[in-house]
Structure 1
Amino acid sequence: MITTMVKRGGLALLPLAAGLCAAFPAQAAWDFTPVAGARATWSDNLTLQSDALAESGYVMEVTPGFSLANHSQRFDLRLDYALRLYKTSAARSNGAQNRSQDLGGALKSRLVDELLYFDARADIHQQAVSAFGPLASGTDYLNNNRSEVRSYHLSPYLVHRFGAFANGELRYVRDSVSSDNPGFRGSDGNILSAQLRSGPTFRRFGWDASLSRMVSDEEVPVAGGRNERQTTSSKGANLGLRYVASPQLNLGVYGGYDDYDFSGLGGSQSGAAYGASLEWVPSARTALRASAGHRFYGPSYSMDLTHRSRGTVWKLLYSDAVSSSRSQFSLPQAIDTAAMLDNLFRAQISDPLLRAAAVQAYMQSTGLPSSLAVPVNFLSNRYSLQKQLNATVIWQLARTTTTFSLMRMRREMLSKQQSDSVLLGSSLLALNDNTDQVSAMANVSYRLGPQTVANLMATAFNIESLSTGQRNQRRDLRFNLSRSFGGRLSGTLELRHVKGASGAGGPQFAENAVTVGLTSKF
């Protein structure tokens, strides 16, 4: 089964590989770096069971992989792959697995100047099946409450400048999301969108118009191990007008229409959208974009505030939208750690390529995740109204960098419970109806020397099902010491203490573990 899983994961890369072959000329400069890692972990609760069932033991992990990059005037590619092989002292019947894989790839290319562009993404990662099971990170060797999710996203698009009158974009997206969990619907999506935005002719008043159409073809599991095909779709139109009050301030209004076609709970799944917007950029260090209005599901608001000083970066985001697990996997929405650090390092490193390399090296040495203030996503075939607030600040001193983030997210399901019947079973169908999540993360990194970084990270999650009253609380405390032995070899020592739930409505677990690892680049 695992061999099949790896083969299917490789198939997810075929569309991306085809796009790369079309996009890159033969003389393009590639940077291919093989990577190998080895880790040994001892845990006093290897399979994250309740105290009465806790079993101590070890995990040996070997991780071959590679990094592929191409940065030029026309192409920006990053592809990272790791195959993790595990050997544990616990029996596989207790939830241990012998391998998993992770892949992350992104491509931005300019094929024809000011005409044809191509973007692509591919991803393979381990995903929590339920928000109410074990969520502890660092335990990818367990298959309890985990599933492998694979996705790719291909997007060629055309841009055209209609003189000084308007600028237009026509974009096509082909994406796919699948999983090795039979209850989660694999799907292929096609999205066509068009945008037109006023040009320099309109100085005091501007305008923009957009149209979009999405069709998703889903595999629906039914009794007897068969799959049926089902189509869901959405479409939208929007027209916006804005007034340039000053070079720093824009005021606007918008109106449009949204229409969703899925198995709803009743009531309208379509309706008019209207509201007002504001864009305020008082300096190169501060920007605020906000809107307030109404959509078919009720009041709608958004906000994006960024502020940067010499030693800090602040980010505040709020949004509400119709969403699904599928859309979260195909187009993740979170605060990008690399983008935040890029803003922080801008005062010290002016060259964008050198700054990007410094950001990646810093994230690797400190163990920061790729996204900050991230909600716990989980597998579901249902559509939901998602309201999310994220706040993050990064503060840098001579030797110390501190990151603090908060997140609050509420999901209210818009489609029927039966969509998750195979995934959750009849007894847990109401678990995902309405959920509320609150999380906080604090990370302090101290540079002991040119090659050594000490890192202390604390995270906390509170997740509640508003329909059933079930809760999952997770607490995670980690100390990490990282040292680079030259440019190709690095080592880590990590101590962790984790508390959480062992299952939906199940008892709590606690784990203490120590990990020693080496990573080499060739």
Structure 2
Amino acid sequence: MKFGALTWLLLLPVAAQAQSWAISSNVQTNVVATTNSTAATSGGNRSDIIASLKPEIDITNGDSARVRVRVRLGADLVAYAHGSQPNRIYPLLIADERAALIEHLLFFESGVSVRSVERDPYAAREQAGTSQNRQTSAVYRVSPYVQHALSKTDNFLAQYEEIHTRGGATTDTDQRFSNMHLRLARLPVPLGGFVDFESRTARFPGVAASQWRVDSLKAGIDFGVSKELILGPVVGKERTSLFLQDHSDSLFGAHLEWTPSERTRVAAEAERRFFGSAWTIDAKHRSPYFLLTFHLGRTPVTSVEIAGSRSVGSDLGSVLNAIVTTRIPDATAREVAVNGLIASRGLATDVQGPIEIRADYAQLQDNLRTAVTLLGSRNIVTLSVYARSVRQLQRTGGITANLVKPNADNRQFGANLNFNRKLTPELTFDLTTSWSQITGTAARLGDKSTDRLVRVSLARQLAPRTALVLGLQHERLATNVTTGVPFSATSVSAGLSQRF
């Protein structure tokens, strides 16, 4: 915690200069009666009544040129009437900022994420308002950098990034990533290019053999085929330190960027690297009533995502914010409008994704995620799909000599559907269904768990800032893991939300 706290204390004088602050807060109280609070098999299940209190505050300063700040701070206080589970307090802090310390030259970014994650990846998914399979995880990030336009066409970047993670009560799965990036680029008018150097290091608390480093130097040519399309080849060299061995390899590939309009963008790159083929494809299209995002990639795990500071699509709030950009140009007013919409319609802000399993060794990740959101006058529909596979990172044709045990390799698939309809000016219906599956590989070959959940609710607007939510939920877990048990649980809930 000291790492993240010190970062934000240093930035307070800069942040104080920012204007147009938007502050919104809310308190949610919820009571749940469940048939199976201990997630036990039939016959061992235990009913209970769960009460929770969830205060939260959101702070943002809009689009200030000097500093941009967004903070989401809260807690989830959970208590069990019959003592079937221990009472707990789960903190929440998601914050990120970007400060221009010297205008047009020196910048500083930082982020912190303290939130609940799954304690056991093969058990049921964690849920707010309960103690089910929850533990607190923390990620801290700092990144100073120099970015300067040398001319109308030439740009220079020198960036350093440090990321620390804390996965639970022990340091066994703590991770530390250090990334250094130097880049000199010329815009394609119509011919441009770049020279790029990156040094990425990953350190783990385990054996020395699990530490790794990759240094790469590459150059590329950019052809401006048109104002909308840029493409070109990439060549270079990279040096790797992996499993106590050093190697040098050539790399080559190509990249493409297509921007047919300010609302649509597609970027892709493919390279041949020391571990085989690598690629990244990102696409986004938005309209005043629609947002589509798509990502497909194969890369080594060189960082950890921090909620709130990464790409649009990680939470419903950022999605709705992107959709209404045209309708509400002012960032502060847009933030207030989105928060009000979420609260009045009883929407869940977090979109369920793959379980973050932090390994104590280097991994290669294949990742697919796509989401589409439709925003109408009465209906809000969100569909998201993800697939992720992580395995031990090694050279093409290389061997690990059993230096580390790959007990965190896995494959995950999942889908989420949310349908929200405004029945009357005061009454809203909400349906949420989710399905997720995790299958172990390597040291956990054969382990498999599948979680299914259906939830329906009605939200009644009692006052402009007060809403009552009644819900019914059923969850079922199927698993063959020896440390877990299959179970099903049905619950009813009543909650009150108050915005300030």
The 2-side partners of 1:229 and 1:436 are apart by: 24
**Structure 2 residue aligned with 1:327, among 280, 304, 317?**
304
The 1-side partners of 2:170 and 2:480 are apart by: 19
Residues 184 and 129 of structure 1, relative CA distance in 2, 3 Å threshold: farther
Deviates most, 28-37 or 493-502: 28-37
Compute the displacement of 1:438 (Å).
1.5
The 2-side partners of 1:417 and 1:444 are apart by: 50
2:125 counterpart residue number: 135
Pairing of 1:348-427 with structure 2 (within 5 A): 348-364=327-343, 365-371=345-351, 374-414=353-393
1:442 counterpart residue number: 417
Residues 358 and 472 of structure 1, relative CA distance in 2, 3 Å threshold: same
Residues 129 and 300 of structure 1, relative CA distance in 2, 3 Å threshold: same
Pairing 1:206–2:192 present = yes
Question: What SS is found at the alignment partner of 1:181?
Answer: coil
Q: Alpha-carbon deviations, 1:263-321, whole Å to 9, x = none?
A: 38x9x876332111222222333322222331111122221222334533222211110
1:288 counterpart residue number: 266
| Alignment check: 8 A CA contact 1:217 1:229 kept | no
Pairing of 1:145-156 with structure 2 (within 5 A): 146-156=134-144
Compute the displacement of 1:216 (Å).
4.8
2:70 counterpart residue number: 78
Q: Alpha-carbon deviations, 1:349-399, whole Å to 9, x = none?
A: 333332333333334444344456x22222322221111122222223331
Residues 175 and 296 of structure 1, relative CA distance in 2, 3 Å threshold: same
1:234 counterpart residue number: 214
1:480 aligned partner, one-letter code: S
2:397 counterpart residue number: none
Q: Alpha-carbon deviations, 1:422-477, whole Å to 9, x = none?
A: xxxxxxx66533x2221111111112344543211111112212342221111111
1:299 aligned partner, one-letter code: S
**Structure 1 residue aligned with 2:408, among 394, 418, 432?**
432
Pairing of 1:60-99 with structure 2 (within 5 A): 60-71=51-62, 72-91=64-83, 95-99=85-89
The 1-side partners of 2:44 and 2:247 are apart by: 47
Q: Work out the number of aligned pairs and report it.
A: 488
Question: What SS is found at the alignment partner of 2:8?
Answer: helix
Question: What SS is found at the alignment partner of 2:277?
Answer: strand
Question: What SS is found at the alignment partner of 2:323?
Answer: helix
Question: What SS is found at the alignment partner of 1:17?
Answer: helix
Q: Alpha-carbon deviations, 1:163-208, whole Å to 9, x = none?
A: 2351112222233212333253434444332222214xx5111112
Question: What SS is found at the alignment partner of 2:125?
Answer: coil
Percent identity between matched residues is 19
Compute the displacement of 1:139 (Å).
5.5
Residues 321 and 391 of structure 1, relative CA distance in 2, 3 Å threshold: same
2:71 aligned partner, one-letter code: L
2:289 aligned partner, one-letter code: G
Pairing of 1:276-315 with structure 2 (within 5 A): 276-315=254-293
Q: Name the TM-score, length of structure 1 as normaliser.
A: 0.83
The 2-side partners of 1:203 and 1:504 are apart by: 58
Q: Alpha-carbon deviations, 1:69-116, whole Å to 9, x = none?
A: 33334222121222222221354xx65342221111111222332122
Question: What SS is found at the alignment partner of 2:451?
Answer: strand
1:4 counterpart residue number: none
For structure 2, the 5+ residue unaligned runs are 395-399
1:163 counterpart residue number: 151
More helix by share: 1
| Alignment check: 8 A CA contact 1:417 1:430 kept | no
**Structure 2 residue aligned with 1:116, among 83, 86, 106?**
106
Residues 150 and 464 of structure 1, relative CA distance in 2, 3 Å threshold: same
1:197 counterpart residue number: 185
Pairing 1:471–2:448 present = yes
The 2-side partners of 1:354 and 1:178 are apart by: 35
The 2-side partners of 1:12 and 1:68 are apart by: 21
| Alignment check: 8 A CA contact 2:209 2:242 kept | no
Q: Name the TM-score, length of structure 2 as normaliser.
A: 0.86
1:104 aligned partner, one-letter code: I
Question: What SS is found at the alignment partner of 1:39?
Answer: strand
**Structure 2 residue aligned with 1:274, among 252, 258, 274?**
252
| Alignment check: 8 A CA contact 2:34 2:48 kept | yes
Question: Cα RMSD over matched residues?
Answer: 3.2
Deviates most, 472-481 or 349-358: 349-358
Residues 269 and 130 of structure 1, relative CA distance in 2, 3 Å threshold: farther
Question: What SS is found at the alignment partner of 2:356?
Answer: coil
Compute the displacement of 1:44 (Å).
0.5
The 1-side partners of 2:58 and 2:328 are apart by: 24
2:413 aligned partner, one-letter code: V
The 2-side partners of 1:311 and 1:33 are apart by: 24
| Alignment check: 8 A CA contact 2:476 2:487 kept | yes
2:373 aligned partner, one-letter code: I
Compute the displacement of 1:241 (Å).
0.9
Pairing 1:346–2:338 present = no
2:190 aligned partner, one-letter code: R
2:53 aligned partner, one-letter code: V
Residues 311 and 482 of structure 1, relative CA distance in 2, 3 Å threshold: same
The 2-side partners of 1:446 and 1:119 are apart by: 39
The 1-side partners of 2:33 and 2:225 are apart by: 62
1:87 aligned partner, one-letter code: A
The 2-side partners of 1:157 and 1:149 are apart by: 27
| Alignment check: 8 A CA contact 2:38 2:85 kept | yes
1:251 counterpart residue number: 231
Question: What SS is found at the alignment partner of 1:51?
Answer: coil
1:464 aligned partner, one-letter code: T
The 2-side partners of 1:48 and 1:180 are apart by: 21
